[in-house]
Amino acid sequence: MRATILLAHGSRDPLWRGFVDSVSHRMLSIDRHAIIRSAFLELSDPDLFAVARELVAAGATDWVVVPLFLGIGKHARQDLPRLIAQLRQNYPNVTIVCRASVGEEPAVIDLLAKMALS
């Protein structure tokens, strides 16, 4: 069973996660059978390891982590690879693919440029 984990930074402001929830809802409007979980690096719950435990308990064995970072800073360059390595060590029977941060995607860069020019 495949699951998508939307991984974001997190915030003390509970309204901040509305963006992540909007992405999740949009994904479900495209594929109502998709298994989607949101996880946060800090300041918000759940964290990546709590989501991993939930997905294992649900029987999901194929995970795609989508980092929702526009800027490619310390979290994307250092923390994320370490966390993914730890997940792979903790769950050797799970296939874990970590996509590039959304800010590295040409389509996202193009969309942002077009929005800024409109």
Q: What is the pLDDT of residues 63-89, one digit of tens each?
A: 999 999 998 777 777 899 999 999 999
How confident is the model at residue 13, as a pLDDT? 94
pLDDT at 110: 96
Q: Which residues lie across from 5 on neighbouring strands?
A: 37, 65
- pTM value? 0.94
Quick one: tokens of 39? 């996880």
pLDDT (tens digit per residue) in 7-19: 999 999 989 999 9
CATH of the domain at 10: 3.40.50.1400
Q: Residue 67 is part of which domain span?
A: 2-117
Share of the chain above pLDDT 70, in %: 99
Residue 74: its pLDDT value, please? 78
Q: Which of 60, 67, 51, 73 is nearest to 99 (CA)?
A: 67
**Mean pLDDT (whole number) for 20-43:** 96
Q: Which helix (H) or strand (E) holds 115?
A: helix 106-117
Q: What is the reported pLDDT for 117?
A: 97
| Domain tally, the chain | 1
In angstroms, the CA 88 to CA 110 distance is 33
Distance of CA 68 to the CA centre of its chain: 6
